[in-house]
Amino acid sequence: MNPGIEEVLLAEPRGFCAGVDRAIEIVERAIAKFGAPIYVRHEIVHNTYVVNELKAKGAIFIEDLADVPAGATLVFSAHGVSKAVQQEARDRGFDIFDATCPLVTKVHVEVAKLAKEGYEFIMIGHKGHPEVEGTMGQLTSGIHLVEDVADVADVSPAQTEKLAVVTQTTLSVDDAAEIAAAVRARFPKVREPKQQDICYATQNRQDAVKIMSPQVDIVIVVGSPTSSNSNRLRELAQRLGTESYMVDSADELKPEWFEGKGRVGLTAGASAPEVLVREVIDRVRAFGAVSVRKMDGIEETIKFPLPKGLKLDDIPPPGHIS
Ligand code: SF4
């Protein structure tokens, strides 16, 4: 019990975005329509709770398509896949549902279109992240990854007349702007997207943390270690000078973090369900928090359509995770 905690401030918006909601619903509806098991390439979204819930409902998560039996139904995760993975899945004859977030697909489409016009690309993103592998894998060559400003000096495109920038959708808005400026300084003719590839959900959650951080003594981010946008939220709060921690579940909260803290800021990455936020609130109340207040913020109303074949009204989303 920590009598010092007066209030929990809830960031708005937080948690599930439209792409995550759609990806989870695709798996749930596929299980309802075709029966278990349904195979999912990579974690459908980077959240331990979501993955375990879907496993319990009959999803099997794999990384290698060789582990999927012939005739199976396969779902691609929200992060998107390379052309090579798409082709392999088709060659193996799976029934495929693509849960790639439409905002990631938009980047893939842009890359394909500009590549046909002779462009090479500089991709700003994190090496090894499945979204980066999927986007870079739209081409077999001519796409160069930069992770930070230092990398910009080392990148060596074959030509600089037709060069375009693309970014991972879940980056730090501020870091991406700094790296893009370094790219622009080195390659003044570089083409940049009209609108940043960083998605609305990433932008809105970071904006909310910027407003919340100065008002609190500690920030808790609900998110899994693999979640890019959740990590960026924790880093952002820390950079703004507020002690911050990311937790996968309420069990990971440590009472000593809250000693001497009057106000606790709470947010959640785009792949973290609200049920986990509720559990964190309950735990912080048990530590002594007196009240919970939702901050004002943007109301997100975006919803992405489901793929053909899973839209039927007669397939209810059974116990949709939220
Ligand atoms: S975080 Fe952005 S890009 Fe990723 S699934 Fe959500 S809306 Fe799509």
Q: Flag whether pLDDT at 94 surpasses 70.
A: yes
Note whether residue 307 is domain-resident. Answer: no
Ligand 1, residues 170, 224, 226, 230: which to mutate, most atoms within 8 A of Cβ? 170
Q: How confident is the model at residue 135 (pLDDT cuts 50, 70, 90)?
A: very high
* 89 shares its domain with 141: no
Q: Flag whether pLDDT at 191 surpasses 90.
A: yes
Q: Flag whether pLDDT at 316 surpasses 70.
A: no
* CATH number of the structural domain spanning residue 55: 3.40.50.11270
Structure tokens at 119: 């462009």
Q: How confident is the model at residue 1 (pLDDT cuts 50, 70, 90)?
A: low
- Distance from Cα 19 to the centre of ligand 1, integer Å: 5
* 26 shares its domain with 77: yes
What is the average pLDDT score of the chain?
A: 95
Q: Is the peptide bond before 37 cis (omega within 30 degrees of 0)?
A: yes
Q: Residue 313 has what pLDDT?
A: 63
Q: N- to C-terminal Cα distance for the chain?
A: 29
Q: Is 272 helix (H, G, I), strand (E, B) or coil?
A: coil
* 96 shares its domain with 121: no
Secondary structure E strands in 91-197: 95-98, 120-124, 143-146, 163-167
What is the pTM for the complete model shown?
0.96
Ligand 1, residues 14, 16, 17: which to mutate, most atoms within 8 A of Cβ? 17
Q: What is the CA angle 50-56-57, rounded to 5?
A: 90
Q: Of the listed 28, 110, 131, 147, which one is catalytic?
A: 131
Q: Tell the residue nearest (CA) to atom 5 of ligand 1.
A: 19
Note whether residue 321 is domain-resident. Answer: no
Give the C-alpha separation, 268 to 270, whole Å.
7
Structure tokens at 105: 């697909």
Distances (CA, A) of 249 to 28, 53, 252, 305: 22, 14, 6, 30
Note whether residue 313 is domain-resident. Answer: no
Is 88 part of the annotated catalytic residue set?
no
* 107 shares its domain with 96: no
Task: Dump pLDDT digits (tens) for 46-76.
Answer: 999 999 999 999 999 999 999 999 999 999 9
As for how many domains the chain has, the answer is 3
Q: Tell the residue nearest (CA) to atom 8 of ligand 1.
A: 19
* 280 shares its domain with 219: yes
Give the C-alpha separation, 25 to 235, whole Å.
30
Q: Flag whether pLDDT at 181 surpasses 80.
A: yes
Structure tokens at 184: 């622009």
Residue 156 — left, alpha, or beta (φ > 0 → left; ψ -120 to 50 → alpha)?
Answer: beta
Q: Is 60 helix (H, G, I), strand (E, B) or coil?
A: strand
Mean of pLDDT values over 28-47: 97
Note whether residue 290 is domain-resident. Answer: yes
- Distance from Cα 308 to the centre of ligand 1, integer Å: 20
Of the residues 161, 186, 211, the one at which a domain ends: 186
Evaluate whether 234 touches 221 at the Cβ level (below 8 Å): yes
* CATH number of the structural domain spanning residue 123: 3.40.1010.20
* 96 shares its domain with 109: no
- Distance from Cα 103 to the centre of ligand 1, integer Å: 7
Residues 6+ apart with CB under 8 A from 273: 15, 16, 47, 49, 50, 321, 322
Domain span at 80: 18-101
* 111 shares its domain with 95: no
Q: How confident is the model at residue 320 (pLDDT cuts 50, 70, 90)?
A: confident
As a whole-number percent, the residues of the chain with pLDDT over 70 amount to 97
- Distance from Cα 200 to the centre of ligand 1, integer Å: 8
Q: Flag whether pLDDT at 87 surpasses 70.
A: yes
Note whether residue 280 is domain-resident. Answer: yes
Task: Dump pLDDT digits (tens) for 296-312.
Answer: 999 999 999 999 989 76
Evaluate whether 233 touches 14 at the Cβ level (below 8 Å): no
Instruction: Looking at the CA of residue 104, tell me the nearest atom of ligand 1.
Output: 3
Note whether residue 318 is domain-resident. Answer: no
Q: Is the CB of 270 under 6 A from ligand 1?
A: yes
* 25 shares its domain with 12: no
